[in-house]
Amino acid sequence: MDIRPFTIAIPQADVDDLADRLVRTRWPDELPGAGWSRGVPLESLKKLATHWAVHYDWRAAEAQLNEFPQFTTEIDGQRIHFLHVRSDNPDALPLLITHGYPSSFAEFTTLIGHLRQDFHVVAPSLPGFGFSTPVRESGWAMSRTARAWVELMRRLGYHRYGVHGGDVGAGVSGAVAGMDGEHVVGVHVVTDPLTAAATATFLPGMADRLDPADPVDKLALDRMAEFQRQGSGYLAIQNSRPQTIGYLLNDSPAGQLGWIAEKFEEWTDLPYDRDQLLTIVSLYWFTGSGISAARFLYEQAHSFDWGAPPAVPQGFAVFGADATVRKLVDPPAGAYWAEYERGKHFPAMEAPEVLAADLRTFFGELR
């Protein structure tokens, strides 16, 4: 039940070690003309790694993160780290927001600035991510995390709250709403065509509704097949051999950087703050959570517990929208549905004002 204030304070020796490791990276060669077709191009990653080692200021980023009230508590034997940003608005609605992969609570720093007038924001780090470490036992996937989130909101004294998330965070948010419908006023999730296609490749039943003879259904099936062929390598490794990839992620900052930067390149279409990306990667590096984050995906891939469907109002914000997303998501009748032409997997970084406005619109009807 103990909730303790938390301040990020990475030892200077760890900061110096990171810079030293980056400077001494043993870079591989590269085939000419490969571009992004085989992964992150050599010169692109060298440039980003140099910026991380020479120009990026971790201490400034650390100070910025520490401007947000942070806490830790233990739930179900697991250390849980979270931001808790209270609004000055007496009518503010508590809002539990959950990040996805490969991300962290730092994805939400700009978004929270747009939300704090209307919401008390609680932003936990998923078990195995960032400062919600170490993870000492198996079984931490979406449903167990959702149960921990329900307990967290109870400990904070919130008896009526909304939930929001994207990617893995969308699954956790839906499970929270399914478990705690007595207290959850509504669940809001973000998605995009690639995320919807990726989810449909492993979530039972999603693809069964599609008819190859229908043009839109065929486009969705083609996108799923393309993801399986070209975009699912990271999932195949982490869903099957997280320990093996963990040696790379834990020992090579250039390896951890490439693993995450590739996804930001592929999964965004609007500009985002490069230093904010490096803050996210730095959190993975300093906490050694690359391997435990990979294990979270492994646990979910081997779990049959996807949680009960929510029986509360549901809202969907689709970024980079096209017709395939509604087909794949198949929202329940009466669900809130909003589509935005630009933005993709990381709308809290790509389009924070748009996402904040959408959250206000959805939850404004539920207060």
pLDDT digits (tens, 9 = 90+) for 50-79: 999 999 999 999 999 999 999 999 999 999
pLDDT digits (tens, 9 = 90+) for 85-125: 999 999 999 999 999 999 999 999 999 999 999 999 999 99
pLDDT digits (tens, 9 = 90+) for 301-349: 999 787 888 999 999 999 999 999 999 999 999 999 999 999 999 999 9
Residue 307 confidence (pLDDT):
80
pLDDT digits (tens, 9 = 90+) for 162-208: 999 999 999 999 999 999 999 999 999 999 999 999 999 877 777 88
Residue 203 confidence (pLDDT):
78
Instruction: Tell me the domain boundaries of the chain.
Output: 3-364
Residue 316 confidence (pLDDT):
98
Q: Per residue in 119-156, is it b (16+ CB within 10 Å) or e — as a string?
A: bbbbbbbbbbbbbbbebeeeebbbbbbbbbbbbbbeeb
pLDDT digits (tens, 9 = 90+) for 2-29: 999 999 999 999 999 999 999 999 999 9
Say which CATH topology domain 3-364 has: Rossmann fold (3.40.50)
Residue 1 clears pLDDT 80, i.e. is over it: no
Average per-residue pLDDT for the chain: 96
Burial environment of residue 9 by CB neighbours within 10 A (0 to 12, 13 to 18, 19 or more): exposed
Residue 205 confidence (pLDDT):
76
Residue 367 confidence (pLDDT):
83
Residue 21 confidence (pLDDT):
98
Residue 65 confidence (pLDDT):
98
pLDDT band at 31 (very low <50, low <70, confident <90, very high): very high
pLDDT digits (tens, 9 = 90+) for 144-153: 999 999 999 9
pLDDT band at 156 (very low <50, low <70, confident <90, very high): very high
Q: Are strands 93-98 and 161-166 parallel, antiparallel or unpaired?
A: parallel
Q: Are strands 78-85 and 93-98 parallel, antiparallel or unpaired?
A: unpaired
Residue 262 confidence (pLDDT):
97
Q: Which of 323, 326, 322, 319 is nearest to 355 (CA)?
A: 319
Residue 6 confidence (pLDDT):
98
Beta bridge partners of 166: 190
The pTM of this model reads 0.97
Within 161-303, residue ranges assigned H as helices are 168-179, 193-202, 215-226, 233-240, 242-251, 253-266, 274-287, 290-301
